Amino acid sequence: MIAGMLRQGIMNVVFIGTPEFAVPSLRALVTSAHNIIAVITQPDRPKGRSKTPCPSPVKEAAMSIGLKIMQPVNINDTASVEEIKRLSPDCIVVVAFGQFLSNAIIRLPRYQCINIHASLLPKFRGAAPINWAIIKGETVTGVTAMLMAAKMDAGDIILMKHTQISPEESAGELEKRLSIMGAELLVETLDGIEAGRVTYTKQEENEVSFAPKIKKEDGLISWPQETHIVHNGIRGMSPSPGAYTYYAKSASGEKKRLVIVKTQIHDTVKTKTPVTPGTIIETAPCGIHVATLEGSLCVTRLQQEGKREMDAQEYLHGHQITAQDMFTS
């Protein structure tokens, strides 16, 4: 239903979100029994070499549906808060917005503010829960619907959905799955709240862990670690900001920056390798075998700076890589 056409017996919702992760939740709300009265998203940001202002994925989706859109620079300023008050929402839904909400907004709706968070809270509170779950080697994750609180990701838990993490799954691949799960959980949560059939559970503070924002420099690969730690770090940084290393030819000393997109673990025997971690052991049908602290890791997909992403075998056809060359930090 188009914004502004209010219906009785359902929730009138303000949706707040920005990235692609939030789009399935927005679309799920559109097809649900609930009514979106406005969408709030971040202002258009300059992108590319031309620095042309580009809308967020949520804005693009909202425009295609015909919803009312707000783009405050600061959602907590007086004008923004007053406009939300005038909308008189029954509930505010937040999915990966990018700004903290003040108590003035959190306490405004009858059913408060509901947040969909991409982890099993209280684990991985913060901006990058998907990345850190993979980096830390978690095998299970999920999405949580919670009441928003002034403290980051610390509100009462309403509902959760769990899922297994594949040993080869990247952060980008997991994010797509969790975005769909989050959309399903959101509608289930709103239906449950309106029907009065949900419970609210306090988070266990002694089980809290954090997932701070990932910085570009966090992607630099440290090869002198156990194989599974290197592998998980690469998965957790893919596709953004990207795990990277520097390729140094043993003969010339020339260095090139490479983004390592995918790897596979073949050597599961934990024995001390006689070569320095980061040393290229061999090239093989699977890709490029690189020494780690106690074994090796096969690089199967990579991207040279300024070039397109490609399989390791395709890269090897155009670049001469030999044993004893190095991947370095």
Domain of 25 in residue numbering reads as 12-207
Q: Is 91 domain-assigned?
A: yes
Residues 148 and 26 in one domain: yes
Beta bridge partners of 52: 47
> For the chain, how far is it from start to end, CA to CA, in angstroms?
53
What pLDDT score was predicted for residue 267? 59
In this structure, the answer to whether residues 47 and 180 fall within a common structural domain is yes
Query: What is the reported pLDDT for 170?
Result: 98
Go through the chain and tell me how many residues it has. Answer: 329
Kindly state whether residue 2 falls inside one of the protein's structural domains: no
| Cβ atoms of 57 and 22 closer than 8 Å | yes
CA dist 296 and 224 (Å) reads 11
Q: Is 1 a domain residue?
A: no
Is 3 within a domain?
no
pLDDT at 266: 84
Q: Are both 187 and 228 inside the same structural domain? A: no
Residue 195 belongs to a domain? yes
Domain final residue pick, 167, 189, 207: 207
Is residue 19 domain-resident? yes
User: Do residues 172 and 264 share a domain?
Assistant: no
Q: What's the predicted TM-score (pTM) here?
A: 0.93
Same domain, 57 and 188: yes
| Residue 146: CATH number of its domain | 3.40.50.170
Q: Could you tell me if 225 and 201 lie in one domain?
A: no
Per-residue pLDDT of the chain (329 residues; tens, 9 = 90+): 333 344 444 899 999 999 999 999 999 999 999 999 999 999 999 987 788 999 999 999 999 999 999 999 999 999 999 999 999 999 999 999 999 999 999 999 999 999 999 999 999 999 999 999 999 999 999 999 999 998 999 999 999 999 999 999 999 999 999 999 999 999 999 999 999 999 999 999 999 999 999 999 999 999 999 999 999 999 999 999 999 999 987 666 678 999 999 999 985 444 455 789 999 999 999 899 999 999 999 999 999 989 999 999 999 998 888 888 999 98
**Judgement on whether residues 185 and 83 belong to the same structural domain of the protein:** yes
Quick one: 111 and 227 in the same domain? no
- The helix/strand/coil state of 98 is coil
Residue 18 and residue 71 in contact, taking contact as beta carbons nearer than 8 Å: no
Q: Do the domain assignments include residue 6? A: no
The answer on 181 and 36 residing in a single domain is: yes
pLDDT of residue 2: 36
Phi, psi (deg, nearest 5) at residue 57: -55, -35
Same domain, 200 and 229: no
The domain that holds 227 is classified in CATH as 3.10.25.10
Q: What is the pLDDT of residues 54-70, one digit of tens each?
A: 999 999 999 999 999 99
CA distances to 14, 28, 154, 201 from 38, in Å: 5, 15, 26, 29
The candidate with the shortest Cα–Cα distance to 244, out of 173, 299, 171, 170, is 299
Q: Does some domain include residue 284? A: yes
Q: Are residues 51 and 98 in the same domain?
A: yes
**Tally of CA atoms within 13 A in the half-sphere of 108 that contains its CB:** 22
Q: Is 258 found in the same domain as 148?
A: no
Of 176, 207, 238, the one marking the end of a domain is 207
Considering its fold, how many domains does the chain have in total? 2
End-of-domain residue from the set 147, 173, 207: 207
Position 47 scores a pLDDT of 85
